[in-house]
């Protein structure tokens, strides 16, 4: 596959030469939450065919952004993981997510899919370090069949797929209700009152949860007024 290029000696253009093709940044998004098998990536990226997925992964390997690994026991299966260069794209991906939450989301379209596991990265994008300056807690989230957790440590956050060993608080909610939370149509308190969500664990950790993640209110992208 021929690689397109802007033919500009510019850091932004050179970066887009590497990651600007369709699906590439979404592949990096998936790998930012940990190594993934080929099938895992295919399941998360509906619409990306097998051949194009293989080509994009080969491109990421050739550019030094991803590498093949073997998962540890008991899996022992081939997978893909980001290199140091790939991991350093995390701030750019999170910045795009924050911009999208403010300027691009709106209501979900009928043709769009949603995987609760995408919230693993979304939690990082919405995290408020100042609100967690003196907090050490582990939160486990259960959204439909997906389970992931966040470790908060003095203003930093680490989010991981899978259950936590000793969560301080657990939040259980359905995907539809979770989307209403992210769309500002529902608060966690309202979800708990209606039975759409349940929480358990340390009361102080649950109290602090409300301030840890800040979703920007949606904004409308207004076009410039016509010239007079």
* pLDDT for residue 228 is more than 70: no
Q: Residue 74's pLDDT is what?
A: 87
Measured on CA atoms in the order 183, 211, 99, 171, is the torsion positive or negative? Answer: negative
Residue 50 lies in a domain: yes
Residue 103 lies in a domain: no
Per-residue pLDDT tens over the stretch 114-129: 989 899 999 999 999 9
What CATH number corresponds to the domain at position 64? Answer: 1.10.10.10
Residue 93 in tokens: 């991906």
Burial of 74 (0-12, 13-18, 19+ CB in 10 A): exposed
Instruction: State whether 76 and 120 are in the same domain.
Output: no
Q: Residue 2's pLDDT is what?
A: 60
- Residue that wins the pLDDT comparison between 227 and 172: 172
How far apart (Å, rounded) are the C-alpha atoms in residues 128 and 219?
20
Residue 131 lies in a domain: yes
Percent of the chain with pLDDT over 90: 78
User: pTM of whole model > 0.85?
Assistant: yes
CA distances from 5 to 24, 51, 95, 110, 223 (A): 15, 22, 24, 34, 30
How far apart (Å, rounded) are the C-alpha atoms in residues 45 and 26?
8
Q: Residue 183's pLDDT is what?
A: 81
Q: How many domains does the chain fold into?
A: 2
Instruction: State whether 83 and 146 are in the same domain.
Output: no
Residues in the chain: 228
Residue 109 lies in a domain: no
How far apart (Å, rounded) are the C-alpha atoms in residues 128 and 146?
23
* pLDDT for residue 64 is more than 80: yes
Categorize the per-residue pLDDT at 218 as very low, low, confident or very high, splitting at 50, 70 and 90.
confident
Instruction: State whether 121 and 207 are in the same domain.
Output: yes
Closest CA to 193 of 169, 177, 215, 211: 177
Categorize the per-residue pLDDT at 224 as very low, low, confident or very high, splitting at 50, 70 and 90.
low
Residue 2 lies in a domain: no
What is the residue range of 35's domain? 11-88
Instruction: State whether 122 and 178 are in the same domain.
Output: yes
Instruction: State whether 124 and 60 are in the same domain.
Output: no
Residue 129 lies in a domain: yes
Residue found by looking up tokens 């590497």 in the block: 18
* pLDDT for residue 148 is more than 90: yes
Q: Residue 66's pLDDT is what?
A: 98
* pLDDT for residue 4 is more than 90: no
Instruction: State whether 154 and 191 are in the same domain.
Output: yes
* pLDDT for residue 164 is more than 90: yes
Instruction: State whether 125 and 198 are in the same domain.
Output: yes
Per-residue pLDDT tens over the stretch 169-215: 999 999 999 999 888 888 888 999 999 999 999 999 999 998 999 98
Closest CA to 93 of 61, 67, 115, 125: 125
Instruction: State whether 82 and 131 are in the same domain.
Output: no
Burial of 150 (0-12, 13-18, 19+ CB in 10 A): buried
Q: Residue 105's pLDDT is what?
A: 87
Percent of the chain with pLDDT over 70: 96
**What mean pLDDT do residues 47-69 have?**
97
Instruction: State whether 82 and 128 are in the same domain.
Output: no
Per-residue pLDDT tens over the stretch 72-111: 988 889 999 999 999 999 999 999 999 999 999 888 888 8
Instruction: State whether 82 and 142 are in the same domain.
Output: no
The last residue of one of the domains, among 73, 88, 103, is 88
Instruction: State whether 131 and 204 are in the same domain.
Output: yes
Residue 141 lies in a domain: yes
What CATH number corresponds to the domain at position 170? Answer: 3.30.1050.10
Name the phi and psi angles at 2, rounded to 5.
-70, 135
Name the phi and psi angles at 57, rounded to 5.
-65, -40
Instruction: State whether 123 and 182 are in the same domain.
Output: yes
Q: For the chain, first and last CA: distance in Å?
A: 47
Q: Residue 226's pLDDT is what?
A: 65
Looking at every residue in the chain, the average pLDDT score rounds to 93
């Amino acid at each position: 596959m021929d690689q397109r290029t802007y033919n500009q000696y510019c850091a932004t253009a050179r970066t887009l030469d590497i990651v600007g093709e369709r699906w590439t940044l979404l592949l990096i998004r998936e790998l930012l939450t940990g190594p993934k098998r080929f099938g895992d990536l295919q399941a998360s990226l509906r619409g990306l065919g097998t051949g194009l997925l293989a080509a994009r992964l080969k491109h990421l390997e050739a550019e030094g952004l991803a590498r093949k690994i073997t998962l540890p026991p008991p899996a022992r299966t081939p997978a893909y993981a980001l290199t140091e260069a790939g991991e350093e794209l995390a701030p750019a991906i999170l910045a795009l997510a924050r911009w999208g939450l403010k300027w691009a989301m709106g209501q979900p379209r009928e043709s769009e899919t949603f995987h609760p596991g995408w919230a693993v990265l979304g939690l990082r994008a919405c995290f408020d370090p100042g609100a967690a300056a003196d907090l050490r807690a582990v939160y486990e989230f259960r959204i439909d069949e997906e389970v992931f957790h966040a470790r908060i440590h003095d203003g930093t956050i680490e989010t991981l797929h899978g259950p936590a060993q000793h969560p301080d608080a657990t939040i259980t909610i359905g995907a539809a209700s979770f989307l209403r939370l992210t769309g500002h149509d529902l608060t966690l308190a309202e979800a708990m009152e209606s039975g759409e969500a349940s929480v358990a664990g340390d009361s102080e950790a649950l109290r602090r949860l409300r301030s840890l993640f800040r979703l920007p209110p949606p904004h409308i992208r207004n076009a410039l007024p016509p010239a007079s």
